[in-house]
Amino acid sequence: MAYQQITPAQDWVYVQLPIEPQYEIVVYPVAVWAMNEDGQVVGLISVPGGGHTDKIMGPTCRLVSPPPLRGVYKHFRELDKNEVQALETNKPVKITQS
């Protein structure tokens, strides 16, 4: 996919919502907003595995679309306590009552 425009996405995340209540939420920081050839704008997240390993820095990362699961883009100010916990710990979090 070719992107026509890329813009930094400061303070935005993608919240992957659980399919069932017993599942966990996952929060991905959004690195950039990218507009594709069709004019759609998507947030891109950083993942390891750019296919290149630097001798000093180690494996590189690459930018990809979030997983194709139910989710929503949110600004940091919109996050609830479970989402903040998932973001701060960088781990999936089971939903607890607010």
Please report the pLDDT score of residue 52 as a whole number. 64
Q: Do the beta carbons of residue 82 and residue 92 sit within 8 Å? A: no
- Three-state SS string across the chain, please? CCEEEEEECCCEEEEECCCCCCCEEEEEEEEEEEEECCCCEEEEEEEEEEEEEECCCEEEEEEECCCCCCEEEEEHHHCCHHHHHHHHHCCCEECCCC
Q: How do residues 45-83 score in pLDDT, each as one tens digit?
A: 988 766 666 677 666 788 999 988 889 999 999 999 989
Using the predicted structure, report yes or no on whether residue 17 has a pLDDT greater than 70: yes
24 CA to centre of own chain: 15
pTM for this model (two decimals): 0.80
Percent of the chain exceeding pLDDT 90 equals 52
> What is the pLDDT of the chain when averaged over all its residues?
86
Please report the pLDDT score of residue 54 as a whole number. 67
- pLDDT level of residue 92 (50, 70, 90 thresholds): confident
